[in-house]
């Protein structure tokens, strides 16, 4: 594998931050992968200043010029050897299995391609006038410097989605990667450098967990930053939302989910079990759109549970994501592992029953896939985002009842249901209080469609033609004639 870059990338230069270094740990082995630059508030301010200066020229480039550079980044991501190296690095620092990591690199590339092409269709409008002496047009213009705080669970996928949209719109970027996964972000910066991204247009400022809040405060408080995009927990999103009030930035927040997965009596159980596995076990359950609560009609409950347990036994293998045949890697860190274990313990204490537990293996961060039944809607595990390979199954009787239960949460990112009843499909899809609905389908995210939630799951949309709107201002130009 190519040498890893561990320094910050600011204004087109690789620099050692002023806060020393912090370790990156392989969650599968517990071994140290690298020591990475720990950026301070001063380092981040330097990056903001560089991005602000670079914006003056980057915003004036044509969409064709920006598109050409972005497609070069895409091509670098998709070079076969490079893609495998990036996937290996991603698995090493994050823990997800290699084939999923390989797919994520492609996922990131898809957004560079999509927004490179979509940038050439940022059309304005001509508006009918109320008076003969006037003419109206609207134009879309880049908002300014964009700050981005990316998560550890899709550390390059989310960079592709955010940076792709920002660059296409004509914005410059200051990127703060998750403290658990900074190496893949720095590798992405190297590709930007290689593709000819001008100095200051993309800046990457990693920092340790101890400095996260102070670095976030600089990004929120700076008047030079006009957009802040964040993917992560609801609690952090709320803090960022509040902190940005004084500078009135544009905010794009993709926060925690509590996705329901409903199985109606008419569902094709073979398709449903396949979908149920996909909706839960991708990335060992560590995704914001992971199915969090499984609602199964009482008439098929036992059959569903038996089939699900058998499929878990058949498909799931716990281990180091770099080893062949492994489908479930470790959880990201000890805090997440302890949280998952505590939720299961509380669920059982509240009356849930463990009907299946996968094989355990040595290692402090490996959590065996677990299936719980007898869960009630008020059980703690049904009221919290699990973020791990644990399934909680809740019985229901009627469509009206389950829709109400599915919506009984303060979050609304994704929701899934399986049914072969066409009338029911329309009723339930429209009634679910979420930003994205999967009908007989567990995978809803792709570059062509909008991604985002309602309620405390955030605001704004990423991907699709709407993704550019987060990084642009709509300007009216009125002509007197």
418-449 pLDDT, tens per residue?
999 999 999 999 999 999 999 999 999 999 99
CB 275 within 8 A of CB 440: yes
The per-residue pLDDT for range 265-316, each reduced to its tens digit, is 999 999 999 999 999 999 999 999 999 999 999 999 999 999 999 999 999 9
Kindly give the interhelix angle for 63-78 and 80-94, rounded to the nearest 10 degrees. 80
Number of domains in the chain: 2
Query: Could you tell me if residue 438 is inside a domain?
Result: yes
The per-residue pLDDT for range 408-419, each reduced to its tens digit, is 999 999 999 999
- Stretch 352-375: mean pLDDT: 96
The per-residue pLDDT for range 249-265, each reduced to its tens digit, is 999 999 999 999 999 99
Looking at the fold, whether 237 and 216 belong to one and the same domain comes out as: yes
Looking at the fold, whether 220 and 321 belong to one and the same domain comes out as: no
150: which residues sit within 8 A by CB, 6+ positions away?
A: 158, 159, 162, 175, 176, 177, 178, 185, 231
CB 164 within 8 A of CB 116: yes
Looking at the fold, whether 115 and 163 belong to one and the same domain comes out as: yes
Exposure string over 422-445, b if 16+ CB within 10 A, otherwise e: eeebeebeeebbbbbbbeeebebb
Segment 40-43 long-range contacts (CB within 8 Å, at least 24 positions apart): 40/207, 40/211, 40/214, 40/215, 41/214, 41/215, 41/217, 41/218, 42/18, 43/8, 43/10, 43/15, 43/17, 43/18, 43/19, 43/205
The DSSP result for 380-435, as a single string, is GGGSS---SSEEEEEEE--HHHHHHHHH-SSEESEEEEE---HHHHHHHHHHS-SS
What pLDDT is recorded for position 2? 62
- DSSP helix/strand/coil, 25: strand
By C-alpha distance, which of 175, 173, 178 is closest to 226?
Answer: 173
Looking at the fold, whether 132 and 204 belong to one and the same domain comes out as: yes
- Stretch 345-371: mean pLDDT: 96
Query: Could you tell me if residue 131 is inside a domain?
Result: yes
Taking 70 as the threshold, does the pLDDT of residue 45 lie above it? yes
Structure tokens, 124: 């304005």
Taking 60 as the threshold, does the pLDDT of residue 227 lie above it? yes
127/373 Cα distance (integer angstroms): 58
By C-alpha distance, which of 368, 369, 390 is closest to 380?
Answer: 390
The per-residue pLDDT for range 140-151, each reduced to its tens digit, is 999 999 999 999
Query: Could you tell me if residue 167 is inside a domain?
Result: yes
CA angle 330, 272, 231 (to 5 degrees): 45
- Stretch 66-90: mean pLDDT: 98
The per-residue pLDDT for range 443-452, each reduced to its tens digit, is 999 999 999 9
Taking 90 as the threshold, does the pLDDT of residue 204 lie above it? yes
Looking at the fold, whether 219 and 240 belong to one and the same domain comes out as: yes
Looking at the fold, whether 278 and 190 belong to one and the same domain comes out as: no
Query: Could you tell me if residue 1 is inside a domain?
Result: no
Looking at the fold, whether 132 and 41 belong to one and the same domain comes out as: yes
Looking at the fold, whether 174 and 90 belong to one and the same domain comes out as: yes
- Stretch 317-321: mean pLDDT: 97
What pLDDT is recorded for position 1? 55
What pLDDT is recorded for position 264? 98
Number of Cβ within 10 Å of residue 134's Cβ equals: 12
144/157 Cα distance (integer angstroms): 23
Looking at the fold, whether 427 and 466 belong to one and the same domain comes out as: no
Query: Could you tell me if residue 451 is inside a domain?
Result: no
465/389 Cα distance (integer angstroms): 33
Looking at the fold, whether 144 and 43 belong to one and the same domain comes out as: yes
Looking at the fold, whether 329 and 462 belong to one and the same domain comes out as: no
CATH number at residue 301: 3.40.309.10
CATH number at residue 465: 3.40.605.10
Structure tokens, 16: 């050692």
Domain holding 279, by residue range, is 259-446
Taking 60 as the threshold, does the pLDDT of residue 403 lie above it? yes
Percent of the chain with pLDDT over 70: 100
The per-residue pLDDT for range 95-110, each reduced to its tens digit, is 999 999 999 999 999 9
Looking at the fold, whether 13 and 141 belong to one and the same domain comes out as: yes
Catalytically active residues, by annotation: 254, 288
- Stretch 117-137: mean pLDDT: 95
Query: Could you tell me if residue 351 is inside a domain?
Result: yes
Taking 80 as the threshold, does the pLDDT of residue 3 lie above it? no
Query: Could you tell me if residue 452 is inside a domain?
Result: no
Q: Which of 50-54, 155-159, 298-302, 358-362 has the lowest mean pLDDT?
A: 358-362
- Stretch 58-84: mean pLDDT: 97
418/275 Cα distance (integer angstroms): 9
Query: Could you tell me if residue 2 is inside a domain?
Result: no
């Amino acid at each position: 594998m190519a040498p890893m870059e561990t320094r910050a990338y600011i204004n087109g230069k690789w620099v050692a931050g002023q806060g020393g270094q912090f370790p990156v740990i392989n969650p599968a082995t517990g071994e140290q992968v690298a020591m990475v630059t720990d950026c301070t508030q001063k380092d981040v301010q330097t990056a903001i200043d560089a991005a602000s200066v670079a914006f003056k020229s980057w915003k004036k480039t044509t969409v064709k010029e920006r598109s050409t550079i972005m497609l070069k980044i895409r091509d670098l991501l998709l070079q076969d050897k490079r893609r495998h190296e990036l996937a290996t690095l991603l698995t090493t620092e994050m823990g997800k299995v290699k084939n999923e990591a390989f797919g994520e690199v492609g996922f990131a590339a898809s957004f560079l391609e999509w927004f490179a092409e979509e940038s050439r269709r940022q059309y304005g409008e001509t508006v009918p006038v109320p008076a003969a002496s006037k003419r109206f047009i609207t134009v879309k213009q880049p908002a300014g410097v964009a700050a981005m705080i990316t998560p550890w669970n899709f550390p390059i996928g989310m960079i592709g989605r955010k940076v792709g949209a920002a660059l296409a719109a004509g914005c410059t970027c200051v990127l703060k990667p998750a403290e658990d996964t900074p190496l893949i972000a720095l590798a992405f910066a190297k590709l930007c450098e290689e593709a000819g991204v001008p100095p200051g247009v993309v800046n990457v400022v990693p920092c340790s967990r101890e400095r996260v809040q102070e670095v976030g405060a600089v990004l929120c408080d700076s008047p030079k930053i006009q957009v802040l995009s964040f993917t992560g927990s609801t609690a952090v999103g709320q803090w960022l939302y509040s902190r940005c009030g004084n500078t009135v930035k544009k905010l794009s927040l993709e926060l925690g989910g509590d996705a329901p997965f409903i199985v109606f009596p008419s569902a094709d159980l073979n398709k449903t079990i396949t979908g149920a596995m996909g909706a839960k076990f991708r990335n060992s359950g560590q995704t914001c759109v992971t199915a969090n609560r499984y609602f199964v009609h009482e008439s098929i409950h036992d059959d569903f549970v038996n089939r699900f347990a058998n499929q878990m036994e058949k498909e799931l293998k716990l281990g180091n994501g770099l080893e062949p045949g492994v489908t479930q890697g470790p959880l990201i860190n000890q805090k997440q592992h302890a949280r998952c274990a505590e939720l299961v313990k509380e669920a059982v204490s509240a009356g849930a029953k463990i009907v299946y537990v996968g094989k355990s293996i040595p290692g402090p961060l490996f959590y065996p896939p677990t299936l719980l039944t007898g869960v009630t809607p008020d059980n703690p595990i049904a009221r919290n985002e699990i973020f791990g390979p644990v399934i909680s199954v809740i019985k229901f009787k009627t469509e009206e009842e389950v829709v109400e239960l599915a919506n009984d949460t303060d979050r609304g990112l994704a929701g899934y249901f399986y049914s072969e009843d066409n009338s029911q499909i329309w009723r339930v899809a429209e009634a679910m209080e979420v930003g994205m609905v999967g009908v007989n389908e567990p995978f809803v995210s792709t570059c062509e469609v909008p991604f985002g939630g309602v309620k405390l799951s955030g605001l704004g949309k990423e991907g699709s033609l709407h993704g550019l709107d987060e990084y642009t201002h709509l300007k009216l130009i009125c002509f007197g004639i």
